[in-house]
Amino acid sequence: MRPREDTLIFRRSRMASPVKRLGRSLVLIAIGVLALDQLALQGLMTPIVVTSGSMFPTLRGLHWKSHCPRCGRELLWDAAWGEKRTTLIRAVCPVCGKRWAEVQPGESAKAPPVSQHSGDRILVFRGLVRPVQRWDLAAIREQNMPGLVVKRVVGLPGEKVFVKAGLLYCNDVPMRRPLPVQWEMARLLTRCGNEDGQGLVLSADGVDKKSAEWVYSRRLTTFCPYHPAADQAERLCTNVLWSVFLAQAAPGTAFVMSARFGDYGIEVTWSAGEHPSVAWRILGPEKRPLFQGRRELPGTIPRRIVLSSVDRRWMLLMDDMGLFTHDWDDDGSPKDAPVVLRLTVTQGEIRLREMGVWWVVPYPDGLIADAGDGFVLLGDDPHISLDSRQGGRRWRREDVVGLVRPLRLVWGRWSP
């Protein structure tokens, strides 16, 4: 009996060779390149290279790159602002705190060289195919300046924009940065994991000398290590992003993530028992609960946990799904207290693939601008950016050339 025609088609489709699949992929890539090329030829899309550091860390301009002689972390410094000698004298590693100028004679042999690198490549999509939205990256024309300038839209037409205690307000309504924008503006503080690639292991029983707790403590300020040559007025900062990747958790495991800023903080308890759950408590002075909640988990312990305190908002996410948010007033901000993050295993054992801590710079206080019928724009790095903070400037709709997309963000939002 002959096979049915649809059966033959199914068998042939499953027998497609890897060479054919690769060929189809190359054809699709070629079509995409030609489409982008046509957009560029018609003036609808313009590729440019960033030259300024005013949008760091979202966009990097001309910069120097090296590595810390103590901890080996990558170091980046703005090459378009200040002299190289001044930069190296003031440079500080944001991870271990090592000053570049304090390299000891015995360390000088292993101190890595400093190399210069060009800025990020971005795409400017000319013409507004949709209305400009808050937090967009916009390319604008500046009078008496060649080329295009890239800034972030923070104020829309009809809004009066000001900053109080590091939080942006538009018409007296607080505007907290959404998580994708937080990740774009995040700067690494520390990242940990075992060098053998097996991940960091925490055990409540202390088996094989495994610790039951991980602690990170630091007095966090607004000092930007990317611009050490700039004179910076440091202020206390509580904008932290804490990301935990879990590789494995033993049955019945329970662990607690806590973050404290002076007398205020949060505790999140994860339980992988018979009924997996997560519980959280917002704490005030003397660990007095201010807000608490609990939620059953659909499966086991999540693969990724993100805890954010950016813009005075606690935000907890599990595998990119939001669990809760809680806003707090400035009354509870610490005056001179360190940020203390603590991960404690109270039962069982967990293996972490990776864990990292980032911070996001707050906006400087004060009145910025009245948007009127235009837009209020700010640079992501307030230390050197020339934007609406200078003289309450605003940009008209006709000044906006188009929206910007960094090449590393073309296929989706980036997060560490």
Segments forming the whole domain that contains residue 247: 195-359
Mark whether 216 and 269 lie in a shared domain: yes
pLDDT at 47: 80
Mark whether 348 and 217 lie in a shared domain: yes
> Is the distance from CB of 62 to CB of 201 less than 8 angstroms?
no
Mark whether 317 and 299 lie in a shared domain: yes
Q: Residue 360 and residue 222: Cα distance in Å, rounded?
A: 9
pLDDT at 414: 39
pLDDT at 223: 84
**Please, what are the averages of pLDDT over each run of 10 residues along the chain (416 residues)?**
39 52 71 55 70 89 86 85 82 80 55 85 78 92 80 94 91 94 91 66 75 88 84 84 90 91 89 87 86 85 91 91 85 67 92 91 86 92 85 86 72 41
Mark whether 268 and 388 lie in a shared domain: no
User: Is 44 domain-assigned?
Assistant: no
**Which residues does 63 contact at the CB level (< 8 Å), separation at least 6?**
53, 76, 77, 78, 79, 80, 116, 117, 119, 226
How many Cα atoms sit within 13 Å of 16 on the Cβ side? Answer: 9
Short-list 54, 35, 41, CA closest to 142: 54
User: Is 8 domain-assigned?
Assistant: no
User: Is 348 domain-assigned?
Assistant: yes
User: Is 32 domain-assigned?
Assistant: no
Domain final residue, candidates 344, 359, 374: 359
Mark whether 149 and 168 lie in a shared domain: yes
Q: Residue 409 and residue 65: Cα distance in Å, rounded?
A: 22
> In CATH, what number is assigned to the domain containing residue 284?
2.60.120.200
pLDDT at 183: 93
C-alpha dihedral (57, 59, 63, 68), degrees to nearest 10: 30
Q: Structural domain tally of the chain?
A: 3
Short-list 316, 336, 217, CA closest to 268: 316
pLDDT at 314: 93
Helix (H, G, I), strand (E, B), or coil: what is residue 124?
strand
pLDDT at 281: 94
Mark whether 96 and 240 lie in a shared domain: no
Mark whether 149 and 231 lie in a shared domain: no
Domain final residue, candidates 337, 359, 381: 359
Mark whether 355 and 389 lie in a shared domain: no
Helix (H, G, I), strand (E, B), or coil: what is residue 335?
coil
